[in-house]
Amino acid sequence: MDELLYEKESFIIRGACYEVHNEKGSGFLESIYQECLEKEMRNQRIPFETQPKLGLDYKGEPLEQSLRPDLECYGKIIVELKAVDKLNEKHRAQVFNYLAATKMRLGLLVNFAAHPKLEIVRIAV
């Protein structure tokens, strides 16, 4: 049986997300959940960077535009937060683009507004 990519780290991140969801429930703005998750990650000593700037290029030439995922954890996992009724392919594509831009292999797409429970989609490349 194949092991999950970054199983231990993603389990810890998921636990922090569930802790925030258990405390706040659904119905808040994404920015509220992000602030809560950052506090929870600090409390749990999960290494993260908030909205890291991901540089892009076009045919080898740097672009002025950049991407900014919500969180980068452990220096190897992208975490993108949403507060929407239902995740769609555009949300998943956003995480795939972040992974392609960073050459990272794992992203977690977290929807805090899915009712009645938290929705976490694991995206590995």
**In the numeric block, which tokens belong to residue 34?**
């992000």
pLDDT in tens, 4-50: 899 999 999 999 999 999 999 999 999 999 999 999 999 999 999 99
pLDDT above 70 for 108: yes
Q: Output the pTM of the full model.
A: 0.94
Could you please report the per-residue DSSP string of 69-93?
-SEEETTTEEEEEE--SS--HHHHH
- Residue 52's pLDDT is 96
Q: What is the spatial distance between Cα 12 and Cα 17, in angstroms, rounded to a whole number?
A: 9
How large is the average pLDDT for residues 94-122? Answer: 95
Any idea where the domains of the chain sit in the sequence?
7-124
Whether the pLDDT of residue 1 is over 60: the answer is: no
pLDDT tens figures, 61-103: 999 999 999 999 999 999 999 999 999 999 999 999 999 999 9
Q: How far apart are CA 6 and CA 124, in angstroms?
A: 10
**Residue 22: exposed, middle, or buried by beta-carbon count in 10 A (0-12, 13-18, 19+)?**
exposed
Q: What is the mean pLDDT of residues 104-125?
A: 95
pLDDT given at position 2: 61
CATH architecture of 7-124: 3-Layer(aba) Sandwich (3.40)
